[in-house]
Amino acid sequence: MTSNFNKRKDFLPYCLPDISELEIQEVVSTLKSGWLAKGPRTIEFEKRFAEYVGAKYAVGMNSCTAALHISLVAAGIGPGDEVITTPMTFAASANTIIHTGAKPVFADIDPKTGCIDPDEIEKKITSKTKAIVPVHYSGQACDLDRIYEIADRYNLFVSEDAAHAIYTKYKGRMIGNRPKGTVSFSFYATKNLATGEGGMLVTDDEEIANKARILVTHGMSKNAWNRYAKGGSWMYDIEEPGYKYNMFDLQAALGLIQLQRLEEMQKRREQIAEKYNEAFKNVDGIEIPIISEYTTTHAWHLYIIKIVPEKLNINRDQFIMELNERNVGTSVHFIPVHLMSAYRNRFGYKKGDFPNTEKWFENIISLPLYPSMSDDDVNYVIESVKDIVGCYRM
């Protein structure tokens, strides 16, 4: 169904990275420097990132997935253990639990925020539970005080998945600031700080940081920079059969500049989110994000609206098709992980296991939100959503 809506000619992508001349220049000078693998830029990016979030140690990785995996391995999680996470996340948060040999155990979400519900975590703890992987979903903070209080009481390790949460503040403190466990960030192409692929593990625990550093390059006692730079030695040992997970200097070149520009990019995200909030807050038929009081700064990685099925003659999938018809790209974050066939088949998870997550999934749409969107783009998304609601309101 279409009204007299004035449809734009070109498609507005759901997401685009924000790459300026500065990133391009830094990548070119890295290419000319003669050092492409992990080297001085990775080391510099790790240092600056640790300073930025306020952690003692940062270890650059080729993805957040790698950082999540290494966090659990370094904490000694393995076969026979159980690790609790949320089903409202990307598969990486749970797949990496399986990679250690442990079992992923899901805990349902808080139906207001979409983040894991600490009460549900506590219900899932058994004698095998060894760790919790809370996900700072969409750029909101999980309730860390409650999660760490539970973790302390049951002696559990906490590996925070902060793929969406660079810039997020919990009760005034940046995610990753003085972490008690580990915190993993993603620099995937769609993320607030993008290096194409990339990730960072931060921790204040020296032992975990040292283990992580060794595990990311096959468990080698020395990385290539230590071996091939002047004064380095060819000799090395394999201390553990590790992984090939390290960040490299071309990624770090992008990361250094993106970090420098993060504040400016975040300001634009905030402006767009505010514009959406203002435009949609009184639209009958959709709901805007509810932000917990302890999320004092939202990173606005995602802007998620929820449709109210009782008020519209259209479901979420049709709403997305209508947006697509109006040339607006969207996404859905996320298809619940417990409903994926690998999880159903291996662990027997089924529909109905996590009602809050499933209900959330049925109604959510992620709208375009990225710094390079123009005001016209933002207004166009607003008008498109309002037009669809107008066409299909009961």
Ligand X SMILES: Cc1ncc(COP(=O)(O)O)c(C=O)c1O
Out of 85, 100, 186, 223, name the contact with ligand X by CB under 6 A.
186
Contact 292, 141 (CB under 8 A): yes
Provide the minimum distance between the beta carbon of 231 and ligand X in the complex, in angstroms, as a whole number.
34
Helices and strands: H and E segment counts in the chain: 13, 13
Out of 50, 58, 84, 92, name the contact with ligand X by CB under 6 A.
92
Out of 71, 89, 129, 330, name the contact with ligand X by CB under 6 A.
89
Whole-angstrom distance, CA of residue 260 vs CA of residue 22: 10
Whole-angstrom distance, CA of residue 39 vs CA of residue 130: 35
Q: Does 369 bind ligand X (CB under 6 A)?
A: no
Q: Does 63 bind ligand X (CB under 6 A)?
A: yes
Provide the minimum distance between the beta carbon of 263 and ligand X in the complex, in angstroms, as a whole number.
22
For 41, 121, 199, 246, 252, the CA distances from 37, given in Å and listed in that order, are 9, 40, 15, 9, 10
Measured from the CB atom, the residue of 188 and 380 that comes closer to ligand X is: 188
Return the structure tokens found at 266: 């975040």
| Burial degree of 206 (CB within 10 A; 0-12, 13-18, 19+) | exposed
User: Which range of residues in 19-27, 72-80, 157-165, 324-332 is near ligand X by CB under 6 A?
Assistant: 157-165
**Which of 188, 87, 80 lies closest to 133 in space, CA to CA?**
87
Whole-angstrom distance, CA of residue 381 vs CA of residue 369: 10
Provide the minimum distance between the beta carbon of 226 and ligand X in the complex, in angstroms, as a whole number.
26
Q: Does 163 bind ligand X (CB under 6 A)?
A: yes
Whole-angstrom distance, CA of residue 193 vs CA of residue 173: 19
Q: Does 188 bind ligand X (CB under 6 A)?
A: yes
Out of 53, 64, 144, 194, name the contact with ligand X by CB under 6 A.
64
Provide the minimum distance between the beta carbon of 21 and ligand X in the complex, in angstroms, as a whole number.
25
Contact 41, 71 (CB under 8 A): no
Provide the minimum distance between the beta carbon of 218 and ligand X in the complex, in angstroms, as a whole number.
19
User: Which range of residues in 46-54, 60-68, 267-275, 280-288 is near ligand X by CB under 6 A?
Assistant: 60-68
Could you list the residues that contact ligand X (CB under 6 A)? 63-65, 89-90, 92-93, 135, 161, 163-164, 186, 188, 199
